[in-house]
Amino acid sequence: MSQERMQFKTEVNKLLELMIHSLYSHKEIFLRELISNASDAIDKLRFEALTNDALLEGDANYRIKLIPDETGMTLTISDNGIGMTKDEAVKALGTIAHSGTKEFMQLLENKEAKGNPELIGQFGVGFYSAFMVADKVTVYSRKAGEDKSIGIKWESTADGSFTVEQCDKATRGTDVVLHLKADEKDYATEWELKDVVKKYSDYISYPVVMDVTRKQEDKDVTEEETLNSMKAIWLKDKADVTEDEYNQFYRHVSHDFTDPSVTIHFKAEGTTEFSALLYIPQKAPMNILYSDYKSGPALYVRRVQIMDHCADLVPQYLRFVKGVVDSSDLPLNVSREILQNNKMVEIIRKNITKKILDNLTQMKSGEPAKYEEFFKEFGRVLKEGIHFEFTKKEEIASLLIMESTATEKGKYTCLDDYIARMKTEQNEIYYITGKNRTELESSPYLEALKEKELEVLFMTDEVDDIIISGLMKYKDKQFKSILKGDINLENAEEKKEQKEHFAKLTEKVKAVLKDQVSEVRLSSRLKNSPCVLVSGDSDIDPSLEAMLKQMGQAVPARQKILELNPGHKLVEMLNAEFEKNADSEKISDISELLYNQALILEGNMPADTARFAGLMTKVMTESF
C-alpha cells in the first residue's frame, strides 16, 4: 500500500492547535493518557482471546513498554494489545466522533481553560496530548491475528494532515513513537519517566516496563524493570489504602485531573460477591446530557476487564459515577445480552444504587456546603430518578435542594425542612417554575402567598415541572404549582360574596375575549396586580413549553384562564362601569388590554402589537 496523505477533520485540527498552545499546565499528563490507551488495548485483546486464543499468537505476557532514546530524542510507548487496522487507525486518530465537540472547542478557546487538563478525559482526546511534548508522532500498529506484512504506519506533525501506509510489523499491538521537542528532553530520561509512571499510572493492571542499565562489577548490565505496582486497589481492604492512592486510581479510571468529591469502596459478600470502588467527580462532564455519554463503571470478572463502561450496573440517573466493579460470580465470557437478563447484575445494581444514595444522604446532612456543590453539578441528572425509578422516587426527592421565598439568595432548603415550616392550616407544597430566582421573586403569582407568609419553592430547571408532576406528593403533602389551577387562600364565605359581586363582569370579559381564554374568574393569588393568565392543573408548564418551542417541537395550542384581582382598584372601576352601562366600549377595550398585559407578564407578546398600542393610546387619551 502506497503512502496516503489525509486531512484531519476540522475539529481535530482546531483541537490540536488549542491543546498545544493553551490547555495543559501539567504536560506530563500525556504519558498517563498514552499508557491508559495501551492498557485499554490489552483489555480488549484479553477479552477477545477468551473465545479466540489464536489472537494471542503464543504471547500471553501482556505488558506496556517505555523505550526512551536520549540521543535520538524519542520516547516510544509500546503495547502488545489488540492493535489497529488501517481503517481503525484513520478513524481513531484522525477524527473525533463526539456530539460535545463544539462545546469543548468553545471551552478551550476560553481563557479559563488554561490549566484544566481534566477536560481531556471528558472528551476522549487523550492521544492528542502527545503533541504537547512532540513535534511529530509516529504510530506503528498491527491488528491481533493479522499477517505481519499488513501492519500500518500513521504519522503526523500536527500540521493539519497525517499520512498512513502499510508496513511490516512482527508483533501485534501498537507502538507510539514521540519525536520530542527540543525543550522536552526530560521525557527521554529514566528518572523522569519513573516519576511520572509512579505518580499517574501505578495502578495500571499490566506491567509498565522499561530497560534500565546499572553498573554491576564494573560492567553495564541492562535489565527490564517494572515501574508500577499493578495492585488491584479495589480488592484491598479500605484500611490498607491511603487517600492519595484512592485519588490516583480515580484519575486513572476517569482521566480526570482533579480529586473526586466522594469515594465509595465496599465489598459485598453472601449469595452474590463483588467488590466495588466508585467515585463521584467534583465536576460534571460537559457531555453528560448527550445521548452518547458512556455511563457505568468498568466491569471486571476475577480481575479480567469485561467492559470499560457497564451501563447496567448503575441507573441512568447515577451515570456520573465512575469506578470499578469486580464480580466473582459472573462468567468470564459474559455478554451484554446476558448482563441485561442476569439476576446477579440486578443484585449488584441494587447494592450500588443503595450505597450511592446513602452516601449522598450522609453528605447532604453532614456536609451541606459540599452537597450544594455536588447538586449544582449533578442535581439535574439525579432528578431523572424521580421520573424513571418509581420505587425510589421519594428517597431521591429527599435529596433535592432548592431556593425558596424563605431562604436568602444563594441559600438552599429541602422538602423535609419545607414541611417542618408549613403552617398548621397548610396542606400543599407550593412551588413556582421559571428561569431564575430574580425573575420569580417579582412574579405576580406570588403576591397573595407572600402576604400570608406561605413559603414557595423556586424551581429553575426546565424539567422541574415534569419531575414534580411525576412525584405528585412528598410525605403525604401534595405539590401545587402556583402557575396552574386554582388556589384557595380565602375563606369560603368571602369567596362566595366576591363571586356574586363580580359574576356578570367575568361573564362580560369572557364574551369580549371569546376564544382567547377558556375561562375568566376571580383570583386568590393576586394582591397588587390586576390580572394573570393561569394554566389548567393538567396543562404543560410554561417554562417547559418555552423550552420545547425553542427545540422546534410542536406544542398543542391551548387556552388559558384569565384571573382578575377582585381587590384591585381597576377591576372595581371596571365593574362599576359595567353596572352603569353593560355595553360600554370602555369595558371591551380594557378587557382586551388586561388580557395582553397578562400575556406580557408571563413573558409573551400580544398577538397584534399594533392593535395593543392603539388601544393603549385610546384609553390613555380618554382618561384626560
Which pLDDT tens digit goes with each residue over 501-540? 999 999 999 999 998 999 999 998 999 999 999 988 877 7
3-state secondary structure 250-309: HHHHHCCCCCCCEEEEEEECCCCCEEEEEEECCCCCCCCCCCCCCCCCEEEECCEEEECC
Sequence letter at residue 613: A
The answer on 257 and 219 residing in a single domain is no
CB-CB contact of 85 with 143 (8 Å):
yes
pLDDT per residue as tens digits for the range 233-249: 899 999 999 998 899 88
Residues listed for the chain: 624
Of the three residues 226, 252, 273, the one that is the final residue of a domain is 226
Q: Decide if 106 is inside a domain.
A: yes
Average pLDDT over residues 488-497: 81
Predicted confidence (pLDDT) per residue in 303-333, tens digit: 777 788 899 999 999 999 999 999 988 876 6
Sign of the C-alpha dihedral, residues 558, 564, 565, 566? negative
Q: Is residue 378 part of a domain?
A: no
Concatenated DSSP letters of 342-366: -HHHHHHHHHHHHHHHHHHHHHHHH
Q: For the sheet containing 456-459, what is the strand order?
A: 413-414, 401-404, 456-459, 428-433, 477-481, 473-474
- Choose the most confident range, by mean pLDDT, from 10-19, 99-108, 492-501, 515-524: 515-524
- Total domains in the chain come to 4
12 has pLDDT over 80: no
Tell me the pLDDT band of 490, cut-offs 50, 70 and 90. Answer: confident
Confidence of residue 338 (pLDDT cuts 50, 70, 90): low
415, part of any domain? yes
Residues 159 and 51 in one domain: yes
pTM of the model: 0.71
Range of lowest pLDDT (8-22, 32-46, 389-403, 454-468): 8-22
Q: Which three cell numbers stand for residue 132?
A: 504537547
The CATH number of the domain holding residue 285 is 3.30.230.80
H or E stretch covering 17: helix 10-18
| Structural contact between residues 462 and 547, judged by C-beta atoms closer than 8 angstroms | yes
- Are 193 and 222 contained in the same domain? yes
Residue 33 is predicted with a pLDDT of 83
Same domain, 463 and 536: no
CA atoms of 278 and 260, how far apart (whole Å): 10
Indicate the angle between helix axes 492-513 and 569-580, nearest 10 degrees. 70
Last residue of a domain, one of 159, 191, 226: 226
Same domain, 469 and 585: no
Domain extent at residue 290 = 233-372
User: Is position 85 within any domain?
Assistant: yes
The CATH number given to whatever domain includes residue 588 is 1.20.120.790
- The pLDDT value recorded for residue 117 is 42
Does position 230 have pLDDT exceeding 90, yes or no?
no
Closest CA to 538 of 488, 495, 486: 486
Distances, alpha carbon 481 to alpha carbons 385, 439, 541, in Å: 21, 16, 9
- Tell me, yes or no, whether 26 and 146 share the same domain: yes
Judge whether 435 lies within some domain. yes
Q: How confident is the model at residue 572 (pLDDT cuts 50, 70, 90)?
A: very high
| CA distances, 108 to each of 293, 378, 577 (Å) | 20, 22, 64
Reading the block at residue 51, the C-alpha cell is 473465545
Find out whether 117 and 171 touch, Cβ atoms under 8 Å: no
Tell me, yes or no, whether 392 lies in a domain. no
> Is 460 in the same domain as 406?
yes
Angle (CA) 200-205-211 rounded to 5° is: 70
Are residues 246 and 200 part of one domain?
no
Give a yes or no: residue 388 inside a domain: no
Q: Residue 305 has what pLDDT? A: 75
Residue 490 has what DSSP assignment? S
496 and 595 part of one domain: yes
3-state secondary structure 109-162: HCHHHCCCCHHHHHHCCHHHHHHHCEEEEEEEEECCCCCHHHEEEEEECCCCEE
At residue 175, the pLDDT reads 98
256 has pLDDT over 80: yes
- Average pLDDT of the chain, as a whole number: 88
What sign results for the dihedral spanned by CA atoms 552, 558, 561, 562?
positive
Give kind and range of the element (H or E) at residue 248: helix 243-254
Residues 264 and 361 in one domain: yes
How high is the pLDDT of residue 274?
94
Residue at 389 is within a domain? no
Q: Are 214 and 279 in a shared domain?
A: no
Residue-wise pLDDT for 104-155, tens only, equals: 556 556 544 444 444 444 444 578 889 889 999 999 999 999 998 899 999 9
Shared domain for 341 and 419, answered yes or no, is no
Confidence of residue 463 (pLDDT cuts 50, 70, 90): confident
